[in-house]
Chains A and B, each alone.
Chain A
Amino acid sequence: MRLSPIGCAAVTATLLLATAACGGREEAGTGATTAAGQCPGQQTTGITDTSIKLGGIYPLSGPASAYGDIPKGIKAYFDYVNAEKGGIGGRKVEFVVRDDGYQPPKAVEEARRLVEQEQVFALFQTLGTPSTTATWDYANQRKVPQIFVATGASKWGTDTAHPWTIGWQPNYVSEARVYAQYLKQERPDAKVAVLYQNDDFGKDLFGGFQRAVDGSQIKIVAEQSYEVTDPSIDPQMRNLAESGADVLLNITTPKFGSQALASDARNGAWNPLHIVNNVSSSITVLKPVGFENVQGVVSAAYYKDPNDPQWKDDPEMKLYFEKMKQYVPEADPAVPYHTFGWAVASSFHKAMEAVKCPTREGLRDAVRSLNNVEIGMLLPGVTMTTGADDGFPIESMQLMRFKGERWELFGEVIDTRKEFGPLTN
């Protein structure tokens, strides 16, 4: 017999142990509670008068680990609110972070763990379009709010079958529209070369840009994609340079963003207007390239850059630096991922304060009826607004140009909804 009896015994023992450790199936049902009084029948799992439990899923391991810094900013904010403000409306926030390694099946597993075992009130941020897509059916079946997901895919707002899932950051299509509008004004007959990451993010932004310049004098003369597994994007940049375009739209994630900026700087013969998308616009991307090499690069922003001296005396930014040092001393507050985390956590705070019923249904409704909510960490003039026909909390951005050692904002805050009409599928 090759089938090792002992091996089978070991497996059986493991399964039995697991059974014993996990308890009965019935337990799952008893954890769910519902509200009485004002909001009868609504779910109050994970929330009490003194506590609220949230779960987030981020890549803490694997190739996308850089985003694993976001929950540190969130933790700093919640720790601060818990310790100094008595929590959100008297409720202390517990934030459970799980690692999915940017793998959709793992994200499903962790979402189930958070909802069924940890009994969280809501999924607060799942990172990445694939992971969020893999989990949103589950979240909506279980009627668990999946709030402010950390991806800018446009489907979180346009989809109507998943009312429990909502994005936060400006979606990629709106961002593309901002760049298109800028070009229409500044370079109405621009020839554009596009470098994009061959995944949902790159395709979404590039597609949005194509549609936005459709019918104008702006022509896309060259496009090159790269895979996240490519060691270098130099060959792509060479092919783009040959097109002789006068604008380069750089739709990349941080490492490749730096490579593209450096490659553009090295090529003295080709000097296009370089537009870098928001994901790669952080100072941490530009600095390794050398500030002298990225002068005049254009991008768009919606939250404050911790490296920008103009926010030095901004009360929210001062608070952020102080509390980051106090509660997450090992993290560098100058890293914009932390700032992003802080901003999204304070957005949750505002949304939670606005709920009519402290229930999952209440939260779902609250994040879908935000009315010009101001968040300290967002740029002045950028607010959160949602409604029955609008599932995108943040839809305003401001253009910026790199000068000296920092980004300089210019022009007005562009409300993409006002400028281009609501985004529909």
Chain B
Amino acid sequence: MSERTNERGAFANAGSEPPGEDRTREPAKAADTPPRAGTPSRGRVLAPALARVTPGRRGWIAVAALLAVACYLPFQLVPFRVFQFTMVMVYAVALLGLNLLVGHAGQISLGHGAFFAVGAYTTAIMLDRWDLPHLATLPIAAAVAFALGLAFGLPAVRLRGLYLALVTLAIAIFLVPLLKRFESVTGGSMGLTLAKPAPPAWTGLAEDQWLYFLTLAVAVLAFLLAYGLLRSRVGRALHAVRDNEAAAEVMGVRLPFYKTLAFAWSAMFAGAAGCAYTWVIGFVSPDSFVVTLSITMLAGIVIGGLGSFSGPLLGGLFVMFVPSISQDVNDAAPGVIFGLLIIVVMYVAPTGLAGLAGRVTRSTKNILRKE
């Protein structure tokens, strides 16, 4: 697989990053790093450029370490755990898309489960009807979700905040009976059962490992794409829109265009995640994509941390592992614990787990500096 090249690519990006770029992205930082009230201004006085770039390098080192661990994991864990981490990555890709919309464009969607389902079903139908190779379904699923996102993004431009959220919620609700209605294509309420991608013999991998690496590749691609997207004009325009719509418009940002585009990109990521979902689970049914999935996704990204890249990963981990933990704590009513945990996390980390991690380090650093 191409993990190593991706890593190299990542470093190449980090190296070529012009220091000046950082200033334009500064507003976005507010989301995961609240104003550094307690930090002494020393760093800023000494070398502003240095202060901004150094954490970047460290960030890329962390990413490299993360990737290394990610590649090592499936050889170390039992297949069941490998499966769990595969699903974490599936959710993370979907949350990445949601993050783009909610965290970077400031629009709330409660219907991302619908785009996830569209990706999953597109893949399932491709596999079921035309026997396409698994990898070929990824771009198609992403493209279909993108197109649908574009179609829904057009009206979304006129809606804001709450109203947009509730309209997207309605889409998520409506999708379930719609999938059941067109039975000849979607398999109706019985759903479709599909073969999982078989690992090529030369890899010597087991099925769960192969699925893991496929999903990892999708995730790495998605993160790189999102990273590139946010560094581009589009990203800067989105941040401008989120932070001050009117000002952005005055400065010449074409609002409707970028808002629609944000919706479509975000739907595309959800569609790609849905595609990976179908590969991994091998079964789609309308009742797998009920409205709670959309709500769980929004909860996942808010809990993980909006506007940061670790947010989707942390959110994916939360969505995957916390329900099982809840059951271990209280067998009779797991929901009681799960609900409580969501509330508690929001108390402890109002800006999400990513923000919490940042806060903890800053205070640790402060303590260390004092000593």
A contact set with B: CB distance below 8 Å: 1-12, 14-16, 18-19, 22-25, 27-28, 60-62, 97-99, 101-106, 108-109, 112-113, 115-117, 129-130, 133-134, 137, 198-200, 202-203, 227, 229
B interface size (C-beta, 8 A)? 79
Complex: how many Å from CA A14 to CA B318? Answer: 11
Given that A4-B308, A11-B66 are known contacts, is A97 also in contact with B283, CB under 8 Å in the complex? Answer: no
- A229 with B176: CB separation less than 8 A: yes
In contact, B73 and A6 (Cβ under 8 angstroms):
no
Cβ–Cβ contact B323 & A116, under 8 A: no
Give, as a whole number of angstroms, the nearest-CB distance from A331 to chain B: 11
Closest residue on chain B to residue A23 by CB atoms: B78
CB-defined contacts of A117 to chain B, threshold 8 Å:
78, 80
Q: Contact at A2–B173, with CB atoms within 8 Å?
A: no
Q: Tell whether, in the assembled complex, residue B173 and residue A3 are in contact, meaning their CB atoms are under 8 Å apart.
A: no
Partner of A6, one of B22, B61, B66, B360: B360
Known: A4-B358, A7-B358, A11-B317. A98 touches B62 (CB 8 A): no
| SS class, residues of chain A in contact with chain B | helix
Q: A6-B360, A11-B314, A130-B285 are in contact. Are A109 and B291 (CB under 8 A)?
A: no
Set B73, B283, B327: member contacting A134, Cβ < 8 A: B283
Q: How long is the Cα–Cα vector from A8 to B305 in the complex, in angstroms? A: 12
For the complex, give the distance between the alpha carbons of A24 and B81 in Å.
11
Q: Known A116-B78, A130-B285; judge A2-B317 contact (CB<8 A).
A: no
Inter-chain contact count A-B, CB under 8 Å? Answer: 194
Chain B residues within an 8 Å CB radius of A19: 69, 72-73, 76-77
**Residues in A whose Cβ lies below 8 Å from that of B190:** 129, 133, 200, 203
B164 vs chain A, min Cβ distance (A): 21
Closest residue of A by beta carbon distance from B307: A2
Bound-state CA distance A203–B29 (Å) is 52
Cβ contact within 8 Å between B308 and A3: yes
Question: Most A CB atoms within 10 A — which of B29, B305, B335?
Answer: B335
B251 within 8 A of A: no
Residues of B within 8 A of A227 (CB): 176-177
Q: Restricting to B58-77, which residues have a CB under 8 Å from any CB of A?
A: 58-63, 65-66, 69-70, 72-77
Q: Does A4 lie within 8 Å of B84, measured CB to CB?
A: no
- Is the beta-carbon distance between A112 and B176 smaller than 8 angstroms? no
Asked whether any CB of chain A lies closer than 8 Å to the CB of B357, the reply is yes
Residues in chain A near residue B331, CB distance under 8 A: 60, 97
Please name all residues of chain A whose beta carbon is closer than 8 Å to the beta carbon of B53 when the two chains form the complex: 1
B189 contacts partner chain A, Cβ-Cβ < 8 Å: yes
Rounded to whole angstroms, the CA-CA distance of A108 and B320 in the bound complex is: 12
Q: How far is the CA of A24 from the CA of B72 in the complex (A)?
A: 11
| CB neighbours of A8 from chain B (8 A) | 59, 62-63, 65-66, 309-310
CB under 8 Å from chain A, chain B span 321-371: 323-324, 327, 331-335, 338, 353-354, 357-358, 360-361
Q: Taking the nearest CB of chain A, how far is it from the CB of B56, in angstroms?
A: 4
B78 and A229 contact, CB distance less than 8 A = no
- CB of B189 within 8 A of CB of A7, answer no
Q: Name 24 A/B residue pairs within 8 A (Cβ), A-sorted.
A: A1-B56, A2-B29, A3-B59, A3-B227, A4-B32, A6-B310, A18-B77, A23-B78, A24-B76, A25-B75, A25-B79, A28-B78, A97-B331, A102-B287, A104-B287, A105-B288, A109-B80, A109-B83, A112-B79, A112-B80, A130-B283, A130-B288, A133-B283, A199-B189
Report how far A13 CA is from B361 CA in the complex, Å.
14
Within the assembled complex, what's the spacing in Å between the Cα atoms of A9 and B354?
Answer: 10
Asked whether A99 and B308 contact (CB < 8 A) given A1-B55, A4-B357, A229-B173, the answer is: no
- When the two chains form their complex, are residues B335 and A61 in contact, meaning their CB atoms are under 8 A apart? yes
Pair A25/B308 contact, Cβ less than 8 Å: no
Instruction: Using A60-B333, A61-B334, A227-B177 as known contacts, say yes or no to A25 and B76 having CB atoms under 8 A apart.
Output: yes
Q: Are B309 and A4 in contact (CB under 8 A)?
A: yes
**Chain B 227-255 interface mask (CB, 8 Å, partner A; 1/0):** 10010000000000000000000000000
Cα distance, A291 to B148, chains bound together (Å): 51
- Contact A7:B308 (CB < 8 A) given known A133-B283, A198-B177: yes
B189 A109 Cβ-Cβ under 8 A = no
